[in-house]
């Protein structure tokens, strides 16, 4: 089959990993990135003779037209990864514009250009929690009022739009990754940032709690598999396994022989001292590792089922120890610690 993969957000953690996998399999890839993107180096991608880069903004219709016509005589497979992650509960206009307005434009253009397959990368945060510990499974109903925080609400709105707008028009599959970590994270995502700060020795205490963590490479495999095996207008949770922050850093300690962190602070203590913590990061001009919203996430229900993805997509997330070890090796290789 003469086909080309079109990936928005190809310079991001997940987009980059998907592109790597596709290029290693000798697939043709067209990547869409913001102009003057600093985290893009064509030489970092394998078999880059098969890679075409188009610069533009997901909020610009003409840019998207240029992107989706870069390779016209082909079956187009569009993977929409571009988005902004936020750990804030308050409304953030830029996050809304990119995640909602941008996704609406990308979806409309996918229909207009008659893509062969459309994969939208949503998030588990778009799915309503099932009580304190109830099993969370796939759904086709997404309501921003059912979830908390700007990121979750924007993903819920966007997911609902994608499913409604493309029904009976183009073949669409939605995937919901959980907390992503792993190699190739040049943008320093939240989970990898915690690991990095620990390895640098600047993290001496942590907060109690954890979340479902999945290897970025497993999510990439799941998405690529969804191109062939993902059912039309179906959703798939691409989760891994629950791991506490303490357990994650203890595993890192075992690999590096760095001293284990002994101080695990209750969330209520962090809540009380949050103004001082926020000031600390402002003074040091650093992105905060935790916010009140992210603390709530660490004690929320993250009992996600990936059974459907295992059955339909042959999805098989690896052991978290492998992910942490590979991430540490990557951080060392690229002088991130």
Give per-residue pLDDT as tens, 246-274. Answer: 999 999 999 999 999 987 776 644 454 44
Enumerate residues 6+ apart whose C-beta is below 8 A from 93. none
Across the range 175-194, mean pLDDT stands at 91
- 21-35, 88-102, 270-284: which is most confident: 21-35
Residue 303 confidence (pLDDT): 96
**Confidence band (pLDDT; 50, 70, 90) for 36?**
confident
| Cβ atoms within 10 Å of 68's Cβ, excluding its own | 22
For the cut 60, the answer to whether the pLDDT of residue 127 exceeds it is yes
Mean pLDDT in residue range 210-235: 97
- As a whole number of Å, the end-to-end CA separation of the chain is 43
Percentage above 90 pLDDT, the chain: 71
pLDDT band of 316, cuts 50, 70, 90: very high
CB 125 within 8 A of CB 136: no
pLDDT in tens, 142-160: 999 999 989 999 999 999 9
Instruction: Supply the pLDDT for residue 279.
Output: 43
Q: Express each pLDDT in 202-218 by its tens digit.
A: 888 888 888 999 999 99
Map out the domains of the chain as residue ranges.
3-185+212-241+303-318
Tokens of 35: 């102009």
pLDDT-based confidence at 113, cuts 50/70/90? very high
Q: What phi, psi does 266 have (nearest 5°)? A: -70, 150
pLDDT of amino acid 283: 45
- Which comes out higher in pLDDT, residue 290 or 280? 290
Q: How many other β-carbons are positioned within 10 Å of the β-carbon of residue 91?
A: 12
Q: Which long-range contacts (CB under 8 A, 24 or more apart) does 254-257 make?
A: 255/324, 255/325, 255/328, 256/199, 256/328
Mean of the per-residue pLDDT values for the chain? 89
Phi, psi of 134 (to 5 degrees): -65, 150
- CA dist 5 and 28 (Å) reads 6
Mean pLDDT within 52-73? 95
Give which of 119, 97, 101 is closest to 110, Cα–Cα.
Answer: 119
Give domain 3-185+212-241+303-318's CATH architecture.
Answer: 3-Layer(aba) Sandwich (3.40)
């Amino acid at each position: 089959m003469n086909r080309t993969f079109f990936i928005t957000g190809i310079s991001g953690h997940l987009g980059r990993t998907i592109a790597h996998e596709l290029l290693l399999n000798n697939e043709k890839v067209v990547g869409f990135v913001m102009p003057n993107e600093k985290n893009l180096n064509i030489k970092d991608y394998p078999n880059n003779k098969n890679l075409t880069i188009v610069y533009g903004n997901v909020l610009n219709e003409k840019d998207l037209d240029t992107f989706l016509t870069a390779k016209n005589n082909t079956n187009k497979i569009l993977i929409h990864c571009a988005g902004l992650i936020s750990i804030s509960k308050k409304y953030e206009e830029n996050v809304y514009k990119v995640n909602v307005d941008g996704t609406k434009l990308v979806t409309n253009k996918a229909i207009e250009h008659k893509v062969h397959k459309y994969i939208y990368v949503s998030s588990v945060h778009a799915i309503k929690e099932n009580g304190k510990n109830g099993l969370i499974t796939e759904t086709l109903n997404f309501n921003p009022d059912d979830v908390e925080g700007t990121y979750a609400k924007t993903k819920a709105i966007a997911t609902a739009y994608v499913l409604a707008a493309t029904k009976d028009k183009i073949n669409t599959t939605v995937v919901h990754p959980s907390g992503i970590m792993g190699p190739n994270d040049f943008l320093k995502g939240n989970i990898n940032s915690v690991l990095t700060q620990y390895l640098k020795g600047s993290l001496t205490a942590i907060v109690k709690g954890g979340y479902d963590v999945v290897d970025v490479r497993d999510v990439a495999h799941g998405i690529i598999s969804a191109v062939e095996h993902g059912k039309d207008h179906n959703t798939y949770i691409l989760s891994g396994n629950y791991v506490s922050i303490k357990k994650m850093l203890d595993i890192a300690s075992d690999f590096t022989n760095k001293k284990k962190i002994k101080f695990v602070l209750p969330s209520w203590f962090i809540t009380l001292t949050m103004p001082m913590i926020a000031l600390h990061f402002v003074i040091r001009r650093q992105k905060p590792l935790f916010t009140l919203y992210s603390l709530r996430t660490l004690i929320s229900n993250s009992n996600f089922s990936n059974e459907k993805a295992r059955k339909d997509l042959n999805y098989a997330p690896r052991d978290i120890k492998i992910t942490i070890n590979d991430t540490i090796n990557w951080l060392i290789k690229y002088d991130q610690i």
